[in-house]
């Protein structure tokens, strides 16, 4: 089962953001979309989830998304926006319960608190969403999205998490935690597609990487195949070398070296 985009083209105003690109993600894997600022990586995700008008064809588990109703899609995939403001003073648990309104998860009543626990915010249910920090708000939204498609597989078909920069405002500990969550979801049979800014975390957790550059697909494949000196240097406009210690020494820190503590 897969999430496929064929010949996706997006124009915003007179600018062409995506020039007819192909994209494919497989269930059971974490697929990362990377690329420099303004490359079109977020637009690709928004085209895949139907948020922007695009040419071409998008299919989820072999079904054309343009043929599916909104509520059907809502049962197959959930989307985490990059930034989410909230109009009214909802509490955290009320925000997460909105994920239930997609209405396809079983044993629903406990899901919101379990989702809160999963993103490390147990006990935050009664707090006001607007009073949380940016990173906490991002994790609340993730919990809402998880609640919508809690079981990674439903009726024999995988469900999908489409995440736009899910770790962008998180500290390194919570980044690792959320990446673990994504990996776990994929391991249990679901599909995860995430726009990623952090190349280290991408290299650590992604099973497949698609690099977008100037509205085209620059490379696609395993992290080792895509994250190479030549591809990275061309796309990001500076000389980059992977697996290279800083020539000047100094302090440096990689998420690879971290382990999540038990207890």
Partner 1 sequence: MTLATCNEIAVADPPDRAAAARRLSLWLGLALLATMTASLATGAAGTSLWAALGDLAQGRALSRVDETILWNIRLPRTLMGALVGAALAVSGAVMQGLFRNPLADPGLVGVSAGAGLGAISAIVLGAALPAGMMALIGAHLVPMAAFAGGWITTLVLYRVSTRGGRTSVATMLLAGIALGALAGAVSGLLVHAADDQQLRDLTFWGLGSLAGATWGKLMAAAPIILVALLGAPFLARGLNALALGEAAAGHLGIPVQRVKNLAVLAVAGATGAAVAVSGGIGFVGIVVPHLLRLASGPDHKTLLPNAALLGASLLLGADMISRTITAPAELPIGIVTAILGAPVFLWILLRRRMVVEL
Q: Would you say 249 or 263 has its CB closer to partner 1?
A: 263
Q: Which of 201, 187, 86 is nearest to 141 (CA)?
A: 86
15 binds partner 1 (CB under 8 A): no
101 binds partner 1 (CB under 8 A): yes
120 binds partner 1 (CB under 8 A): yes
- Number of residues this chain uses to bind partner 1 (CB under 8 A): 53
Rounded Cα gap, residues 43 and 9, in angstroms: 10
Helix axes 111-118 and 134-148, enclosed angle (nearest 10)? 130
Query: Quick one: 112 exposed, middle or buried, by C-beta within 10 A (0-12, 13-18, 19+)?
Result: buried
Backbone angles phi, psi at 8, to 5 degrees: -75, 120
* Min CB(72)–partner 1 separation in Å: 8
Residue 259: partners with Cβ closer than 8 Å, 6 or more residues away: none
Q: Would you say 92 or 212 has its CB closer to partner 1?
A: 92
163 binds partner 1 (CB under 8 A): no
- Point out which residues pair with 2 in neighbouring strands: 26
Q: Which of 95, 109, 181, 99 is nearest to 140 (CA)?
A: 95
45 binds partner 1 (CB under 8 A): no
75 binds partner 1 (CB under 8 A): yes
191 binds partner 1 (CB under 8 A): no
70 binds partner 1 (CB under 8 A): yes
Contact pick of 90, 200, 207, 216 for partner 1 (by CB under 8 A): 90
134 binds partner 1 (CB under 8 A): no
Contact pick of 91, 168, 169, 200 for partner 1 (by CB under 8 A): 91
Q: Would you say 90 or 236 has its CB closer to partner 1?
A: 90
48 binds partner 1 (CB under 8 A): no
Are 31 and 160 in contact, with CB atoms under 8 Å apart? no
Contact pick of 126, 156, 249, 250 for partner 1 (by CB under 8 A): 126
SS3 182: helix
Residue 53: partners with Cβ closer than 8 Å, 6 or more residues away: 10
**Which residue ranges make up the site for partner 1 (CB under 8 A)?**
49-51, 69-75, 77-79, 81, 84-95, 98-99, 101-103, 117-126, 128, 130-131, 148, 173-174, 177, 181, 260-263
């Amino acid at each position: 089962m897969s999430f496929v985009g064929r010949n996706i083209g997006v124009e915003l105003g007179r600018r062409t953001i995506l020039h007819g690109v192909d994209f494919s993600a497989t269930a059971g894997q974490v697929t990362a979309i990377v690329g420099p600022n303004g490359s079109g990586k977020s637009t690709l995700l928004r085209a895949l989830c139907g948020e922007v008008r695009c040419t071409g064809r998008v299919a989820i588990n072999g079904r054309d998304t343009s043929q599916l109703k909104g509520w059907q899609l809502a049962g197959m995939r959930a989307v985490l926006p990059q930034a989410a403001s909230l109009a009214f003073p909802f509490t955290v648990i009320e925000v997460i319960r909105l994920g239930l309104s997609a209405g396809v998860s079983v044993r629903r009543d406990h899901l919101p608190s379990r989702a809160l626990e999963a993103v490390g915010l147990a006990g935050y249910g009664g707090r006001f969403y607007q009073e949380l920090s940016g990173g906490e708000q991002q994790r609340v939204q993730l919990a809402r999205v998880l609640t919508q498609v809690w079981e990674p597989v439903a009726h024999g078909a995988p469900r999908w998490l489409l995440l736009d920069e899910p770790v962008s405002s998180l500290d390194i500990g919570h980044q690792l935690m959320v990446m673990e969550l994504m990996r776990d979801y994929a391991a249990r049979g679901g599909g995860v597609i995430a726009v990623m800014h952090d190349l280290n975390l991408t290299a650590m957790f992604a099973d497949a990487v698609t690099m977008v550059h100037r509205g085209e697909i620059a490379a696609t494949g395993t992290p080792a195949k895509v994250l190479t000196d030549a591809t990275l240097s061309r796309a990001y406009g500076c000389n980059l070398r992977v697996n290279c210690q800083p020539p000047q020494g100094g302090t440096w820190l990689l998420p690879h070296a971290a382990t999540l503590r038990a207890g």
